[in-house]
Amino acid sequence: MKSKVNLVFVKIVEEKEQMVSTKMYNLTIAAKDGGGTTKKYEAILVERAWDNYMTLESFKAL
């Protein structure tokens, strides 16, 4: 499900990195919504350095 809320990045609250054959980043970030309220979100990114690939696997409000 896609949302049409514009978020403004504030900061990374927590970062965890896991490396196997790819790198997986589990980020907890703070972002402001359209009303100026700061909320926390979880973003999971996957990176494969050998083929210059990075994708956002998941993004959700906490």
CATH number at 40 reads 3.10.450.10
Where residue 50 falls among pLDDT bands split at 50, 70, 90?
confident
Question: 2 in a domain, yes or no?
Answer: no
Whether residue 45 has pLDDT greater than 90: yes
CA distances from 17 to 3, 8, 14, 39, 49 (A): 27, 23, 10, 22, 14
Range of the domain at 39: 8-61
Question: 24 in a domain, yes or no?
Answer: yes
Split into its structural domains, the chain has a count of 1
In this structure, of 1-5, 7-11, 12-16, 38-42, the range with the lowest mean pLDDT score is 1-5
Whether residue 1 has pLDDT greater than 70: no
Check residues 61 and 19 and name the one with the higher pLDDT: 61
pTM over 0.85: no
Whether residue 53 has pLDDT greater than 70: yes
